[in-house]
Amino acid sequence: MFIDTHSHLNFSDFNEDYPDVIERAKSVGIIAILNVGADLPTSKRAIDLAQKEDLCYATVGVHPTNTNNLKAKDYSGLEELARKKKVVAIGEIGLDYFHNKVAKEIQEVSFKQQILIAERLALPVIIHNRDANPDTLAILKEKGIRGVMHCFSGDINFARAILSLGLYISFTGNLTYKKNESLREVAREIPLRRMLLETDCPYLPPQSKRGMRNEPSFLIYTAEELARIKGVALEKLGEVTSKNAEDLFKLARLKPRTTFSFT
Ligand SMILES: [Zn+2]
């Protein structure tokens, strides 16, 4: 069993065929999919999917590259959405200095505002960080919140700093990329009990699916790579990372009739 902790079936890429995509995910042992919001409309769509589809959960948040022109009413709208059933985190939120679309100051204000929402609702956060390690760390240190660094691509020092804040580290298909030996080195060093798996689909398909639209069933390739790196059986890797996700996002609480059985 596996949990895709960061997926975007809420994006228009999947409008036509998301039921088939979910069936394929089930067929490879995916037991939960967290669809992550990147703005208000995609957050709403994530909630719609969570209400329709047993396997799906939602997170709500505004991605740093979409934070221009956010008003007080947008934050209150977001908080309203975050109170809906099956919303398990605030995200994705953070800092992105790579795309350079929004001024740093604006991104920072928005990141902090959304962390406050997470605090008020006792939800974890899903953090997007690109080329902003020191500033991201500074904010996380100041705030002290539960959460995960999504699509980890930093070095071992950054990984250690993240772990020391009590956060989880999540890997995508980029772990399987031929040239990404340095990321595999980092994964080797990090304890399994602090790791999560994700696809970030439709983006970042694993090596064998490059050029295609990514989807939750492809999580298995990243899982296989991580199992190989950690020297554990695939099944064990699935159990541990699913348990981690279940702990962080408190999934069992929301699904009383499903038994998440971990050994
Ligand atoms: Zn994402």
The CA 197 to ligand 1 mean position distance, Å, reads 13
Strand-pairing partners, residue 32, are 3
Give the percent of the chain with pLDDT over 90.
94
Question: Residue 235's closest CA among 246, 224, 247, 249?
Answer: 224
The CA 153 to ligand 1 mean position distance, Å, reads 14
Question: Residue 25's closest CA among 238, 217, 223?
Answer: 217
The CA 93 to ligand 1 mean position distance, Å, reads 10
- φ/ψ (deg, to 5) at 223: -65, -45
CB-CB contact of 141 with 150 (8 Å): no
The CA 36 to ligand 1 mean position distance, Å, reads 6
The CA 200 to ligand 1 mean position distance, Å, reads 5
Please state the domain extents for the chain. 2-254
pLDDT digits (tens, 9 = 90+) for 81-106: 999 999 999 999 999 999 989 999 99
The CA 6 to ligand 1 mean position distance, Å, reads 6
The CA 184 to ligand 1 mean position distance, Å, reads 21
Decide if pLDDT at 13 tops 60.
yes
pLDDT digits (tens, 9 = 90+) for 36-48: 999 999 999 999 9
The CA 263 to ligand 1 mean position distance, Å, reads 30
The CA 63 to ligand 1 mean position distance, Å, reads 8
The CA 104 to ligand 1 mean position distance, Å, reads 19
Decide if pLDDT at 256 tops 90.
no
Q: What is the pLDDT of residue 261?
A: 53
Of 82-96, 180-194, 212-226, 249-263, minimum mean pLDDT range: 249-263
Decide if pLDDT at 61 tops 60.
yes
The CA 164 to ligand 1 mean position distance, Å, reads 24
The CA 120 to ligand 1 mean position distance, Å, reads 23
Question: Residue 89's closest CA among 240, 218, 196?
Answer: 196
Neighbouring CB atoms inside 10 A of 243's CB total: 17
Strand-pairing partners, residue 130, are 96
The CA 251 to ligand 1 mean position distance, Å, reads 20
Structure confidence at residue 257 as a pLDDT band (50, 70, 90): very low
Decide if pLDDT at 258 tops 70.
no
Q: What is the pLDDT of residue 143?
A: 87
DSSP letters for 30-88: EEEEEEEPSSHHHHHHHHHHHHH-TTEEEEE---GGG-TT--HHHHHHHHHHHTSTTEE
The CA 22 to ligand 1 mean position distance, Å, reads 18
Q: What is the pLDDT of residue 263?
A: 43
> Out of 3.20.20.20, 3.20.20.140, 1.20.5.510, 3.10.450.40, which CATH number does the structure's domain 2-254 have?
3.20.20.140
CA distances from 24 to 215, 217, 220, 227, 238 (A): 9, 6, 11, 21, 17
